[in-house]
Amino acid sequence: MSNVTLPCSSSGARTHQDGVHSISAAILGADGQPIGTLSIASPVSRVDDAVAAAQGEAAIRAARLISARLTGEA
């Protein structure tokens, strides 16, 4: 399984939904291909750079753990 899980963040003036900050990380299958996504959404008013970074790190950790459990590596 690939060790790379990249966060995707969206918090600009125009997002999927105005006023919402979102971040996600891929859940990978045994072949290293994405099979799902873990996402976190928060009101933009409650997210600064530190919160966004912490959410990204948490999403990556959780997605890696889910991936490992699904593929029998954990």
pTM: 0.74
pLDDT at 5: 46
Domain boundaries, the chain: 8-70
Report the pLDDT value the prediction gives residue 74, as an integer from 0 to 100: 84
d(CA 8, CA 31): 21
26 band by pLDDT with thresholds 50, 70 and 90: very high
Domain boundaries 8-70, corresponding CATH code:
3.30.450.40
For 36-66, write each residue's pLDDT tens digit: 999 999 999 999 999 999 999 999 999 999 9
